[in-house]
Structure 1
Amino acid sequence: MAADDAQAAVLHRDMEVAGPRVGRPPRVSAQAIIEAAIELGLDRVTLKQVADHLGVGVATLYRHVRSRDELLRMAAFRVVLSRRMPRSQPGRAVHWAEVALGFAASLYETFAGEPQLIHEMARGRIGPDAEVDFLEQFLAELKQHGFSARESIRLHHALAMMAIGAAAGALSLSGAAAAGQPHDAAMRRVLAERDADELPEVRGAAAEFLNINPAHWLLALRDLLAGFAQARGETLPEQLFGTALSDP
C-alpha cells in the first residue's frame, strides 16, 4: 500500500517538472474510479487493481486522486452518505425532514469518525466528486416535497455547515481528553487563574459550559429543521428524532 503513495509522489514531481499535460483527456472520471474502488472492496483495494479493473494505467488515476488513502476517503465518504439518506419507496412516503436528518447525521459521523477529512477539506482537497451523485438524490427527493432548487441548496448548505462544525467540536473535545487536558478541567483552571470578580457571566454559566455533550448538536439541528418547516407553514413529525433527543 505504501508503494502506491510513493509512486504518486514520483509521478506528481514529474508532472510539475513537465508542466500541464496536453493531448487526449483522461479515459476515466473520478466517479468511475470511486465506484470501481467500492466494487472491488475498500478494505484491501489497491490503485493497480482499480486501474486494471478500468482498463487504464495507474498514472491515469493520478489525474484524479493523489494516493490510495485519498481514494479510500472519497469512496468511504460516498458509501456513508448513500447508506444514510432515506428515500421514498412505493407505499412509504418519507418526510423531507427525514432526508435532511439522514444527510446531517451521515456527515457528522463521517467527519467525526475520520478526522483527516476535516484537514483535507481545510486544504481544499475534498472536491465534489464524492458528493455530487448524493446531492443529485438529495435535490430530487426534496423536489418531490415541493422544495425549489434554491430552498434545497440553502438547506443542504445549512446542514453541512452545522454537521461538520459539530464534528470538529466533538473532535476537539475528544482530542483534548486524549492529550490529558479535558475541556472541563482546562476551563476550571482558567477560571481559577483569573480574579474572582472577573468573567461573572461565564462563571454563572459554568455548570452548563463544563458539561458539554457532543450529542447536543442535535438540539440545534432540530431547531434548524423546525425553522425551515415553519417557513413552509409546516411542523416537524413528532417522532423525527425518536426518544433519544431531549433538552438537557
Structure 2
Amino acid sequence: MCGSHFQRLIVYFLFRIRCIHKLFLSTNPIPRQAGKQTNGDSVGGTTGASRKRSCWAYNLRMTEDLKCQAVPGSPRWWTNRAPRVEKSAGRGRPSVSVERIVATALEAVDEVGAQAFNMRMLAERLGSGTATLYRHFASKDEILIYVVDSVLGELLADQPEAVELVPQGQGSEGYSWQKACASGAERLYGVLRRHPGILPLLVSQIPIGPNGLKRREQGIALFLANGFPAELAARAYTSVAHYVLGFAIQQHSSASSEAAEGEELVEFFAALDASEYPAIATAGRHLPGVSVEEEFRFGLKLIIDGLELAASAWRKADGC
C-alpha cells in the first residue's frame, strides 16, 4: 500500500474513533447539574439521534472519498495529474527539479531495485530532505511511475520516425514493417536489460505516461499503416510487447547462473537413458547451446511471421 493511501486510512480511522466517541456520549450522556437532560433530549441544540445520523453520514462520505482516490499510474491518476507548484526550498537548500529527482531515482533503482528503493535513500542521494521530494510527489509510488516513463523515453530518443511509420512494402530506407517491428522490439529489450530494476514495475502496471503512450501510439501505428485491421493491430502490439517483457524478466532472473547451468545441462541430457528419452537424446545438446540474443531473435521472428500470416488471413476473410 502506498504511503499516501496509508496516511488517508489513518485519518479515516481517527475520525471513525471520534465518531464512536460521540455516539458513546449520545447514548451515555454526562450528568449535568442544570437541566438534567435524559438520553435523546436536546443538549446544546443537538440531540443524540441527530449526532448519530451526522456521524454515519460523515463515515459514508469518508468511505466514498477513499474509493475515489486514484492509484498512482492508473488512468484516473494520469488524467488528474498536474504539475505541483514548486515552493521555495528555504534557506540554504537549492530547489530540486522533477527531472533531477526522476533521474536520480532511476540510478537508485538500477542499483538496489524497486523494492529496496525509498524516499530517504533518494533524499540522501540528492543531498536534500524528504520534504523536498514531497513538494513534487505524494509518495514513493508516484516517483516510480515517473521512473518507468523515463526509461520508456530512452526508446524515443534514439528511434527514427521513419522506422516506426513505414508504408506498405519497403520504406525509403529499405525497412519493411517486419524489420521495423523487430528493430523496435530489440531496442525495447536492450533498454530493459540496461534497467532490470524496473521490470517488476512493468508487471504491476500498464505504462500509460507520456512516453508510454507515445511508444504505444508508434507501435500500433506501424501495424495500421501496413494494412492490419484495428483489432489485429492492437493484438499484434501487445503480443510483441509482452514477449519482450516476459523474455527480459526470465533472462534477468537466471542470468547469473545461465552459463554454468548450460554446461551441466548438456552433460545431464547426455547421461539420460536414450530409450526412455529418445527426443532429448537426439536434441539435448542443442537445448542450452543457443545464446540469449539468438534465442530472443528466433522467438521474435516466429511471432512476426505469425502476425504476417494472421494479417493475410484477415484480409482474405474480409475480401481484401
Offset, 1:61: 4.2
Q: Deviations over 1:161-185 (max 9, x none)?
A: 22222223332442224xxx72214
Give the secondary structure class of the aligned counterpart of 1:131.
helix
Residue number among 190, 196, 202 corresponding to 1:115 in the alignment:
196
Q: Equivalent residue for 1:14?
A: 7
Shift of 1:147: 2.4
Q: Does 2:159 correspond to 1:84?
A: yes
Q: Does 1:37 align with 2:99?
A: yes
Mapping for residues 157-196 of structure 1, pairs under 5 Å: 157-177=238-258, 182-188=260-266, 191=269
**Counterpart Cα distance in 2 of 1:41 and 1:59:** 13
Q: Is the 8 A contact 1:37 1:45 kept in 2?
A: no
2:59 is aligned to none
Q: Distance in 2 between matches of 1:161 and 1:200?
A: 33
Question: Which letter does structure 2 place at the counterpart of 1:66?
Answer: D
Q: RMSD of the TM alignment (CA)?
A: 4.1
Tell me the CA shift for residue 81 of structure 1.
4.7
Letter in 2 for 1:15: R
For 1:1-248, what aligned pairs fall within 5 Å after superposition?
Answer: 11=4, 13-18=6-11, 20=66, 26-28=81-83, 37=99, 42=103, 58-59=133-134, 61-62=136-137, 66=141, 68=143, 70-81=145-156, 83-84=158-159, 86-88=163-165, 92=172, 94-122=175-203, 124-129=204-209, 130-177=211-258, 182-188=260-266, 191=269, 198-216=276-294, 217-233=296-312
- Higher mean alpha-carbon deviation, 132-141 vs 13-22, is at 13-22
2:82 aligned partner, one-letter code:
R
Distance 1:37 1:162, change over 3 A: same
Amino acid at match of 2:286: E
CA distance in 1, matches of 2:218, 2:226: 13
Q: Does the 8 Å CA contact 2:189/2:245 hold for their aligned counterparts?
A: yes
Tell me, yes or no, if the aligned pair for 1:80 and 1:110 is still in contact at 8 Å: yes
Specify every segment of 5 or more residues in structure 1 that has no aligned partner in the other structure, as ranges. Answer: 1-8, 30-35, 49-56, 235-248
Q: 1:154 to 1:204 in 2, by over 3 A?
A: same
Q: How high is the TM-score relative to the length of structure 2?
A: 0.50
Matched residues in 2 for 1:170 and 1:44: separation? 24
Equivalent residue pairs, number:
205
- 3-state DSSP class of the match of 2:179? helix
CA deviation map 1:190-235 (0-9, x unaligned): 558866765443233221013131112212222322232344459x
Normalising by structure 1, what TM-score? 0.62
Residue 14 of structure 1 aligns with an amino acid whose one-letter code is Q
Q: Which amino acid aligns with 2:103?
A: L
Q: 1:166 to 1:10 in 2, by over 3 A?
A: closer
Q: Which has the larger radius of gyration?
A: 2
Asked if 1 retains the 8 angstrom alpha-carbon contact of 2:185 and 2:244, the reply is yes
* 1:156 Cα deviation after fit: 0.5
Identity of aligned residues (%): 15
